[in-house]
Amino acid sequence: MSRYLLRRLAWLVPTCLGVVSLIFLLRPLIPGDPVDFILGESAQAADREALRRAFHLDEPLARQYLLFLEGLARGDLGVSIHSRRPVARLILERYPATLKLTLASILIALVLALPLGVLSAVRRESALDHTAMAGALLGAAMPNFWLGPLLILLFAVQLGWLPVSGAGSPAHLVLPALTLGTSLAAILTRMVRSSLLEVIGQEYMTTARAKGLSEGVVICKHGLRNALIPVITLLGLQFGALLAGSIITETIFAWPGLGRLTVTAIQARDFPLLQGCLLTISLSYVLINLLTDLAYAAADPRIRLNRGGR
């Protein structure tokens, strides 16, 4: 296990370097000049040059890349061009809100998907199965930019049960988490159903029933645990997708998270802040994939990693 973990950590180094390089090289492709955006096109040439020197925009691209790597090695993501505040501090202020929204969305998805997926597999081809699969298909087909405003109209405007936007109380979390969690629940429901159907007729399931165990214990303890591998894989991938996909949802609900900060950086042509946001999202995705691989052994005894890491 330890050798396997060390090898995976070793692979993280080139992976993270590739992510960092790609994010930096995307910067010249962003249209617009941040100096013009901040000072205006009528600004004095001396002021424009001073701002360029302050943010190393007058340096060659290779030199900017080296400065960027040196800053990362020190934990310095640079200074925001727009607010003149350290990028790392801005991200640390917003990241907890995005993480809370992502975890709440996953919780909602699991609460909806696990029971529906299990019941659909156990009662295959029943009315419940067809209804659950139709609902899952509908949930997967609804984009967040359509579902979010629809939930606002229903629960905030018409019924008045929940606030429209902001993050002042736990009630503010419900609508954005429900928006993100619905599509994930739809995908997970179908995955849980198909995975459980693959193991429900296996010999060890028959043996468990022959021992006199109840059908609920057989399904949940023996069947569901062995069917969780593809579900864990999907959760790991979707966790990173939710961090990135929350950009639209956070904008709709004015949620003060990393996604909304990314939109602000794009609108302000704030290159250092945009790089920091994208880098945080990408490295979070890489880390979650590592944790997902390490979670396989805990979910399925057949995939125990031995001491040699094979």
Residues above pLDDT 70, as percent of the chain: 86
Quick one: which H or E segment has residue 157? none
Check residue 37 and give its pLDDT.
66
Amino acid at 163: P
**Cβ distance 228 to 292 under 8 Å?**
no
> Which DSSP letter does residue 28 get?
G
Given a cut of 70, whether residue 309 has pLDDT beyond it is no
Half-sphere exposure of 141 (CA within 13 A, CB side): 6
Check residue 2 and give its pLDDT.
61
Q: pLDDT of 31-76, one tens digit each? A: 666 666 666 667 677 777 777 777 777 778 788 888 888 888 887 8
Q: pLDDT of 101-135, one tens digit each? A: 988 999 998 898 888 888 888 888 888 888 888 88
Given a cut of 60, whether residue 299 has pLDDT beyond it is no
Given a cut of 70, whether residue 193 has pLDDT beyond it is yes
The CA distance from 194 to 15, in Å, is 32
Instruction: Give pTM, 2 decimals.
Output: 0.78
The CA distance from 130 to 193, in Å, is 12
The CA distance from 92 to 88, in Å, is 6
Check residue 28 and give its pLDDT.
67
Domains of the chain: residue spans and CATH: 2-73 (no CATH), 91-303 (1.10.3720.10)
H helical segments located in the chain: 2-25, 34-39, 45-54, 61-73, 87-122, 127-141, 144-151, 171-199, 203-210, 215-217, 224-226, 228-252, 258-267, 271-299
Mean pLDDT calculated for residue range 251-270: 85
